[in-house]
A = this chain, B = another copy of it.
Amino acid sequence: MFMSNDHNLLAELIEALRCLPGVGAKSAQRMAFHLLERDRGGGVRLSKVLDEAMQRIGHCQSCRNFSESAECAICANGSRDASLLCVVETPADLLAVEQATGYRGRYFVLMGRLSPLDGLGPRELGVELLTGRLADGAVRELVIATNPTVEGEATSHWLGQLARTAGVRATRLAHGVPLGGELEYVDRSTLAHAFGSRQVLDD
């Protein structure tokens, strides 16, 4: 792609940058030129951290979130409430809950959602580990925070059954009109759901 057919490091760099999500040929080229022209230090640092991260980051043995150590910082934190277990689909969802809410319980990261077409079943989502945690007696509430998509809802249903089997209370994040949203612009299914789930106002 870059001006010659023999070995070409710049072409290789541009090609390698395309493994990043949302980065096409043009952005990759821009990134390569930017690093070479203006930020070689940043490039070298990125290379080092990237290599270390790819080699050393694994999964927490109790919640499946990304972690460098056998147990992640949240699971290792004794001050977090072990009676609450929040199930999310991805580490990014965990981060969103962690940053937006005052939740101080534990997490379980499915690293996906039930999706038979993608080969993602209960085993891939860590069902053994999860049932183990539900069975150990510490957890009293399973907060289901899967996404409100078709697959997320199916996953939520399955999680609810797991909780019921283990005798643990299951709760689901509330769905409805987002704060600051205007009814006029809220999509139909959200509005229909919010209408159907309307709540009694306390006096």
Residues of chain A whose beta carbon lies under 8 Å from any beta carbon of chain B: 2-4, 6, 8-10, 12-13, 16-17, 19-22, 27, 29-37, 39-40, 42-57, 66, 68, 73-74, 90-92, 95, 98, 111
Instruction: Tell me the bound Cα distance from A12 to B46 in angstroms.
Output: 9
Interface of A is mostly: helix
Q: How many copies does the complex hold?
A: 2
**Complex: how many Å from CA A91 to CA B32?**
11
- The answer to whether A50 and B16 have CB atoms under 8 Å apart is yes
Whether B13 pairs with A53 at a CB distance below 8 angstroms is yes
Contact A90 B56 (CB under 8 A): no
CA distance A47 to B46 in the complex (A): 7
Say which residue of B36, B57, B73 sits within 8 Å of A66 (CB atoms).
B36
- Inter-chain pairs besides A10-B53, A46-B47, A47-B54, 17 sampled, C-beta below 8 Å: A3-B73, A9-B57, A10-B57, A13-B53, A16-B50, A19-B35, A20-B31, A21-B30, A21-B31, A21-B34, A32-B53, A35-B53, A43-B54, A44-B51, A44-B54, A47-B50, A51-B51
Given known pairs A6-B73, A73-B4, the reply for A20 and B35 (CB within 8 Å) is yes
> Using Cβ atoms and an 8 Å threshold, which residues of chain B touch A91?
33
